[in-house]
Structure 1
Amino acid sequence: MMNDQERRQELAHFLRTRRERLSPEAVGLPTGGRRRTPGLRREELAFVAGIGVTWYTRLEQGRDITVSPQILESLAKVFDLNAAERNHLFVLAREQVPADPHPLTDIISPALQRILDTMGVYPAYIANPSWDIVAWNQAMCRVYTDFSILPIHERNILRFMFTNPKQRSLLVDWEKEAQGLLAVFRASTERYVGESWFKALVADLQQSSPEFQAWWPRHDIQAAHASSKELNHPLVGKLALQSSSFQVMDAPDLRMVIYTALPEANTEQKLAQLAKAREVQFAG
């Protein structure tokens, strides 16, 4: 669980990154000539938000001070935060939601596996709160990779995106997908910031991925939503897929993600073609 000091440091970093993204023009202030640092100055932000500059400075420095909901609402308005970012701000500033005291689920029931398998040609997987892929179907292996032969620590969605070379060639717009995934990861794991697995994953990816190292400090936040993906599969060419996520009611810390075919690029037929090719391979 994240302690108070870690929470305040996260809050300070979040506020600083958002302040640096604001221009004077965006909030109705004069530019005032050349600036040594990007974004608004602290005193400008405090003025626009209607709060004391000394108080805001202490907040952005991670000091132990009490923050009212009204002040947070004012900051959220000035920063023009979306719903996920606003929630993130309140969680960091007011009171962190405790992490589940029980161990993260790393195995599923046979019934859940059967559900995955009944998805047929549609790729599907189940992940836990640390974004570890704990189960998948054969369609997922045909489209992405054979997860059964990956080392367990590599069966992590974020790690797979940033360190597996197949992803860069498979995804039509890898950079856009990776940035979006990172923003969703940050929003969905905010309650686990102090956990050892979270710290280890972030530290490892900062060392192994230059892109992760560059993008992580930006503190991007994005709510999870159904999204479309374009893939360049090495066997069948372009695939257009739509992802949908579902919470597993019998195990609330798990979520199931299913990729269905979009009409473009004859994706349905190509998924069936991949399944048929695998059947022929095993038959041979």
Structure 2
Amino acid sequence: MTSNPSRNELGAFLKDRRCALSLRAMGLPDSDSRRRVKGLRREEVALLAAISADYYARIEQGRIQASASVLNRIARVLHLDNDQRERMYELADKDATRRRRCVAQKVQPQLRRLLHGLVDTPAIVLGRRTDILAWNPLAAALITDFARIPAKKRNYVRLVFTDPAMRTLYTDWQHVARTSVAQLRMEAARDSTDQRLCGLVGELSVHDEDFRGWWGDHQVSLSTIGTKVLHHPVAGDLTLHWDTLTCPADPDQQLVTLTAEPGTPSHDGLRILASWAARTP
């Protein structure tokens, strides 16, 4: 197959990024006199991306068009930031980002391991458009039994607006709801062509006057930390601090944790809730 000019530009971009990598940061020796290139070799990128060296070479040479999933793995290996990822997808195919976002997300293994290790901390994994991808038992005990919600409906913003229990769980439900709308607005700004997001916005706009009005305000939010005040039927009143950890392998996935200051009634309340959840079948 002959090379393609736009793919040649992609190849130059990938070569530039792999040559710019620090070998020491990658856990490789940087004093090998036999190395003729800076950064990673093609074969090393291919190995880390779990593809053949020949396949990766043909991508850099502009001889083939890589799939979105392969490009995503290469982006992870090359430690591309969000802007660099978007540039890579643009060079590969202007519609690639759109196709990538249409593929159903699966929680990254490293996030799942972290999630299972947080036995005393409520935590969930949020994906694109605030879809709830995974959770631990304490998060289910604190917020709701996520397993009872069909996977296609398992979305945090939808839950806030459609589950009546959320309006009593969150002491300042209006603030929580408005913030969630602003976060969803940011998702829409990243990809206005996301059909599932458009469907969610349409559904909530029809069924909830508050959502319809707040969506029209065009407020956006990039908050990654904050405080929520809850009134839980078992644990009582809780003031919890939430933090987010973005997954390097998939920046569209975030681990959200809720913690309380040690020695406070809220900290005791979480311990009571954990004990109650452990006894509840």
- TM-score, L = length of structure 1: 0.61
Rounded to whole Å, the distance in 2 between the matches of 1:212 and 1:140 is 25
Rounded to whole Å, the distance in 2 between the matches of 1:101 and 1:128 is 16
Rounded to whole Å, the distance in 1 between the matches of 2:223 and 2:188 is 12
Rounded to whole Å, the distance in 2 between the matches of 1:105 and 1:239 is 34
1:194 aligns with 2:198: no
Q: How has the CA–CA distance of structure 1 residues 212 and 264 changed in structure 2, closer, same or farther, with 3 Å as cutoff?
A: farther
Q: Is the 8 A contact 2:129 2:184 kept in 1?
A: no
Q: Is the 8 A contact 2:98 2:194 kept in 1?
A: no
Q: Bigger shift: 179-188 or 236-245?
A: 179-188
Q: Which amino acid aligns with 1:129?
A: R
Q: How has the CA–CA distance of structure 1 residues 108 and 237 changed in structure 2, closer, same or farther, with 3 Å as cutoff?
A: same
1:227 aligns with 2:196: no
- Residue of structure 2 equivalent to 1:101: 99
How far did 1:184 drift?
Answer: 2.1
Partner of 2:130, secondary structure, is coil
Aligned pairs for 1:14-25 within 5 A: none
- TM-score, L = length of structure 2: 0.61
- Residue of structure 1 equivalent to 2:13: none
How far did 1:201 drift?
Answer: 0.7
Aligned pairs for 1:197-212 within 5 A: 197-212=196-211
Partner of 2:124, secondary structure, is strand
Rounded to whole Å, the distance in 1 between the matches of 2:250 and 2:104 is 8
Aligned pairs for 1:104-115 within 5 A: 104-115=103-114
Partner of 2:265, secondary structure, is helix
Q: Is the 8 A contact 1:104 1:253 kept in 2?
A: no
How far did 1:108 drift?
Answer: 2.1
In structure 2, the gaps of 5 or more residues are 1-93
Q: Is the 8 A contact 1:238 1:267 kept in 2?
A: yes
Partner of 2:251, secondary structure, is coil
How far did 1:105 drift?
Answer: 4.5
Give aligned pairs, total. 187
How far did 1:174 drift?
Answer: 0.4
Larger relative contact order (CA 8 Å, sep ≥ 6): 1
- Residue of structure 2 equivalent to 1:11: none
In structure 1, the gaps of 5 or more residues are 1-95
- Residue of structure 2 equivalent to 1:268: 267
Q: Bigger shift: 148-157 or 200-209?
A: 148-157
- Structure 1 segments of 4+ aligned residues over 6 angstroms from their partners: none
Q: Is the 8 A contact 1:239 1:265 kept in 2?
A: no
Aligned pairs for 1:56-75 within 5 A: none
How far did 1:110 drift?
Answer: 4.5
Q: Which amino acid aligns with 1:101?
A: R
How far did 1:135 drift?
Answer: 0.6
Q: Which amino acid aligns with 1:246?
A: L
